[in-house]
Every structure is written in structure tokens, then in C-alpha cells.
């Protein structure tokens, strides 16, 4: 797919790209997986999961998150 400046992908195209980009990862990923997938730091990964943090029952155990958040 080649896009010109200002072009936008529709939802179907985004879903197809998503499936290709993260195909090798399971549906539920760890923070470590999230770091690798997005190329971000551990702190940034936890910041992205900030909303999930309040619902979590403690961070001592490994945290897993669905890919489709």
C-alpha cells in the first residue's frame, strides 16, 4: 500500500495492517511483548496501560494485556 500525503486508511485497511504487523504475537501480550511490539520503554508501556492499572489487583505479578486495546 502506498499513500500520498493527506491520504487516510479506512478501518478495513487498518485491520489488515494490524494483522500483518503483530501476527507473531498472542492475543494477550505481556508488558515486555508490548515494549517489543511498539519499540518503547517499560515506563512508556505502563503509561499506555494506565487505565488498566487501576483495575489491576497488583503489579507484583506479570501483567498481560490484550493486543486489541
pTM of the model: 0.54
**What was the pLDDT predicted at 44?**
93
13, 1 contact by CB (below 8 A): yes
**What was the pLDDT predicted at 41?**
94
Burial profile 24-48: b = 16 or more Cβ within 10 angstroms, e = fewer: eeeeebebebbbeeeeeeeeebbee
**What was the pLDDT predicted at 42?**
92
The SS3 assignment for 65 reads strand
The vertex-28 CA angle with 27 and 31, nearest 5°, equals 135
**What was the pLDDT predicted at 4?**
64
**What was the pLDDT predicted at 50?**
84
Average pLDDT along the chain, 69 residues, taken 10 residues at a time: 68 86 88 92 90 52 65
Amino acid at each position: 500500500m502506498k499513500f500520498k500525503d493527506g491520504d487516510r486508511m479506512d478501518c478495513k485497511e487498518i485491520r489488515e495492517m494490524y494483522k500483518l504487523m503483530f501476527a507473531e504475537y498472542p492475543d494477550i501480550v505481556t508488558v515486555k511483548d508490548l515494549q517489543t511490539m511498539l519499540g518503547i520503554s517499560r515506563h512508556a508501556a505502563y503509561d499506555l496501560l494506565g487505565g488498566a492499572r487501576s483495575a489491576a489487583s497488583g503489579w507484583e505479578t506479570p501483567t498481560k494485556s490484550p493486543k486489541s486495546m
